[in-house]
Amino acid sequence: MKGNSFIFNFKDKNSIIYLFSRFLIILLMIAIVDIVAGFVLKSIITEIPDGRYYKVYHTLNHNESEILIVGSSRGERHFVSTMIQDSLGLSVWNGSRDTQNLPYIYCVVFSSLARYKPKLIIMNVEKDIFSEEMNFEAASLLDPFYNNETVKKLYKEKQFAKSIFMNSNLIKFNSSYLYLLRPLVYKNQDGRKEDLGWEPLYGDFKGEKKKEDEILEYYSYDFDKESVEAFESIISELDKQNIKLLMVISPHFNSKYKNSSGLDYLKNITNEYSNIKLLDYSQDPDFVYQEEYFRDNQHLNVPGAKFFTSKVISAYKKLDF
């Protein structure tokens, strides 16, 4: 009996149930704040005029451009959407995002396909695209968009524990406030709408000028299983829907290796699928060690991006797609 009173006696302060009742009151208070905050933040995300959250929101939920560009920061900085649009006469949206990898690309592609059928997808890829685990830490950019079915499905499959916490709006919008609210005060600080997703990088070269002592002929690495699975599911879906995919390896100021097991894999893909092509600019002498085209070792500046985009456009026109 004493044991039961210790556990269940509501009136006794020194009982477990009393402690839990206090705990529940605090949880209730947090839940109310969470619901109100969620309501406000979700309203903001649908109303913000520009910036990174506008871009992701638009890319995942509304974009219906004929050409969709996906990738990481290199995809975002290197493909000038307006040039491609004007040259090919097709609507373009660059949905690439800084620091993102395959989880983000997977969500963009599948949420787009659930809504419409693009004519061409341009995917900025790297020779070591499969060397890291699917970068979910960086993909926390997708957290506020957890209600998107594709995002939800991916989280539940790959990050089940995290998907449980995504039921909290405060966690979903964790640390997003600056970039979420800034466009309401200062417009065009974090990407302009009229650039159609392209994020220009202004300024001169500020990277490491030293040339590589030795450029490897071949770099072999272990493929991350999850990355390969995500990539193959994208490829297979595009093939099923007969959507063209142009994979592009952007230039590096300081390319460390010429070929890799990842590059071999990508080349094999192009042999297997007629709707997939690969363009490799990683060793292009027009760019490598051309300081005037780079902002840092990985990213082209505005003149570099424009020159690169023009090269991609002319190469695309020559492709037998």
Partner 1 sequence: MLFNSIDFLIFYPIVFLIYWIFFRNDINKRNLFLLIVSYIFYGWWDWRFLFLIALSSTTDFFIGQLIYKADNPSLKKRYLTISLTISLGILFIFKYYNFFIDSFVQTFTLLGKPINYHGLKLVLPVGISFYTFQTLSYSIDIYRNKLKPTKNVIKFFTFVSFFPQLVAGPIERATHLLPQFDKKYDFNYDQIVKGLELVLIGLLKKVVIADRLATYVDAVYNNHQYHNGTTLYMATIFFAVQIYCDFSGYSDIAIGVAKTFGFDLMKNFKTPYFAVSMKDFWKRWHISLSTWFKDYFYISLGGNRCSKLRQKFNLLATFVVSGLWHGANWTFVIWGAVHGVTQIIENSLNLKSNREYSIIEKAVRMIVVFHIVCFAWIFFRADSLSQAMQIIAKIFEFRLALPYLDVVNALFFGLISLFIYMIIDYFEYRNIKIFRYMRTRKYIYASIIIIILSIGVFNEGQFIYFQF
Is the separation of the CB atoms in 266 and 287 below 8 Å? no
14 contacts partner 1 (rule: CB under 8 A): yes
CB of 6 to partner 1, least distance (A): 6
Nearest residue to 128 via CA among 226, 219, 230? 219
Note whether 210 binds partner 1 by CB under 8 A.
Answer: no
Alpha-carbon torsion (40, 46, 47, 48), positive or negative = positive
Alpha-carbon distances of 216 from 130, 169, 221, 274, 291, rounded to whole Å: 18, 47, 13, 30, 22
Q: Which is nearer to partner 1, 6 or 221 (CB)?
A: 6
Is 15 among the residues that bind partner 1 (CB under 8 A)? yes
Least Cβ distance, residue 143 to partner 1 (angstroms): 10
Cβ count within 10 A of residue 25 = 10
Give the chain's length. 321
Closest CA to 128 of 205, 14, 221: 221
Mark the segment that binds partner 1 (CB under 8 A) among 76-84, 112-120, 164-172, 270-278: 164-172
Using rule CB under 8 A, residue 35 touches partner 1: no
Taking contact as CB under 8 A, which single stretch among the options 20-28, 90-98, 219-227, 300-308 is the one that binds partner 1? Answer: 20-28
Give the residues across from 69 on adjacent strands.
94, 122
DSSP reduced 3-state for 38 = helix
> Number of helices (H) and strands (E), helices first, in the chain?
13, 7
DSSP symbol at 264: H
Pick the piece of the chain touching partner 1 (CB under 8 A) from 166-174, 236-244, 250-258, 273-281: 166-174
| Of 24-32, 64-72, 264-272, 313-321: span binding partner 1 (CB under 8 A) | 24-32
22 belongs to the binding site for partner 1 (CB under 8 A)? yes
Count, residues near partner 1 per rule CB under 8 A: 30
If binding is defined by CB under 8 A, does position 104 make contact with partner 1?
A: no
16 or 184: CB nearest partner 1: 16
Binding of partner 1 by 204 (CB under 8 A): no
Is 29 a binding residue for partner 1 by CB under 8 A? The answer is: yes
Sign of the torsion angle spanned by Cα atoms 193, 58, 310, 217:
positive
170-189 mask for partner 1 (x: CB under 8 A)? xx-xxx-xxx----------
Please answer whether residues 138 and 240 qualify as being in contact, where contact means their C-beta atoms are separated by less than 8 angstroms: no
Please, which residue, 6 or 321, has the CB nearer to partner 1? Answer: 6
| C-alpha to C-alpha distance for 298 and 306, rounded to whole angstroms | 16
The binding site for partner 1 (CB under 8 A) comprises 3, 6-7, 13-16, 18-19, 22, 25-26, 29-30, 33-34, 37, 137, 161, 165, 168, 170-171, 173-175, 177-179, 206
